[in-house]
Structure 1
Amino acid sequence: MSHRYSQSDIDAVYRVIAERRDMRHFLPDPVDADLLQRLLQAAHLGPSVGFMQPWRFIRIADRSKRNAIHALVEQERILTAKALEEREDEFMRLKVDGILECGEVLVAALMDGRERHVFGRRTLPEMDLASVACAIQNMWLAARAEGIGMGWVSLFDADKLAALLAMPEGAKPVAVICLGHVKEFYARPMLEQEGWAARQSLDDLVYRDAWGIKEEK
């Protein structure tokens, strides 16, 4: 018995993966509550090491709090630009978030008390972060399939954002997520369109048996 999905379903999966975009430009239209719940459920179905489910999501409904988060991002944007030295001006021309424009803002965070979870983390404690990233990717793909734009913003001081959101000791924010309707999706990743970087060749990133040994063609 075949466990393979239909070809149309398979094509849809690969299509949504290829057309997922880190969005920065949004329309102000609200995101339907049922749709938001579906996206959160998609995230919650993500894999996690030891089934620890370390993700926590905070929906930012208070406009003043959204403004405060944007201010933290703006602070870090300026510091990041300075750290980039010769690319400072180029970076400052990039749009790095849509916090003030999008329909919904969520903060994805690592839970507190993670040290209690040893399964899968004894030698690789960072697998809790990998698990949250998987949940976020689930949400991203579901959002793209639903026609909703999503952007992952990581320009912020984690301690300041944790304090703003009254997170308990040990919890850590890892992403500000912008969700919303968009006029259109970027034809290519925005940073590629803007000339910031180009996608590397897969052949250069896949090795065989040991580091740096490429597959023979």
Structure 2
Amino acid sequence: MTDHAFSAAERRAVYRTIAERRDMRRFMPGTTVAEDVLTRLLQAAHAAPSVGLMQPWRFIRITDAGLRTAMHDLVDEERKRTAEALGTRGDEFLELKVEGILECAELLVVALRDDRQRHVFGRRTMPQMDLASVSCAIQNMWLAARAEGLGMGWVSIFEPARLAELLGMPDGAEPVAILCLGPVPEFPDRPALEIDDWTQGRPLAEFVAENSWTATSSEDLADR
């Protein structure tokens, strides 16, 4: 513990927000998000760290109903192609609810901005750090939304070039996420894909190693 640590109550709130964040697909139709709350969420996203302070993100708020429907159609087309690519699990995949585009209160698209190649700091050998930075912005918004009592879902089932064309993005810009945001009926205690028996999360011990790629045993991790 250092002099810069938050209070115990504040720390508990931070860790609770992280633990209770969920990728939401089910929203309450006909609801809204207050403008001041939406502003706070966007400010949280914009406060994210970015490599070389490049701030490579752009946020597009979708308020046109026709555009929302067109985006849903794009996602639905890719949903069917994904099912085909999954082979024997295709029918099982089609039974999953993977987005809430038509039901959510707010719909946002997060994109990588154009002209990113001029940012060399931190990207000379790892150009994908622009995507990593945008992901940090999305996570900030996700956690802030949970703290506000709102659900958010990250939709990545779409063809980027077609969504970019639909939204009039310039050359070099690239959509990363469709974000569904709004009030939800509940926050489940487990990830939706676990509840739907699609997959199961794995324990931390499988992902932590020391000094080399060799995995550290759960017993070793528990002893630390």
TM-score using structure 1 length: 0.98
Deviation at 1:8, TM superposition (A): 0.3
CA-based RMSD: 0.9
Q: What is the distance in 2 between the residues matched to 1:21 and 1:59?
A: 21
Deviation at 1:184, TM superposition (A): 0.7
Counterpart AA for 1:205: F
Asked if 1 retains the 8 angstrom alpha-carbon contact of 2:22 and 2:151, the reply is yes
Asked if 1 retains the 8 angstrom alpha-carbon contact of 2:104 and 2:181, the reply is yes
Q: 2:143 aligns with which of 134, 138, 141?
A: 141
The corresponding residue for 1:7 is 8
Gaps (5+ residues) in structure 2? none
Runs of 4+ deviating beyond 4 Å: none
The corresponding residue for 1:200 is 202
Q: What is the distance in 1 between the residues matched to 2:48 and 2:71?
A: 26
Q: Deviations over 1:141-165 (max 9, x none)?
A: 0000000010000000000000000
Q: How many residues align?
A: 217
Q: Percent of pairs identical after alignment?
A: 61
Q: Name the SS of the counterpart of 2:111 in structure 1.
A: strand
The corresponding residue for 1:151 is 153
Q: What is the distance in 2 between the residues matched to 1:104 and 1:204?
A: 37
The corresponding residue for 1:173 is 175
1:108-119 pair list within 5 angstroms: 108-119=110-121
More deviation in 204-213 or 153-162?
A: 204-213
The corresponding residue for 2:39 is 37
Deviation at 1:213, TM superposition (A): 3.9
Q: What is the distance in 2 between the residues matched to 1:64 and 1:167?
A: 18
1:43-82 pair list within 5 angstroms: 43-82=45-84
Deviation at 1:214, TM superposition (A): 1.6
Q: What is the distance in 2 between the residues matched to 1:153 and 1:98?
A: 9
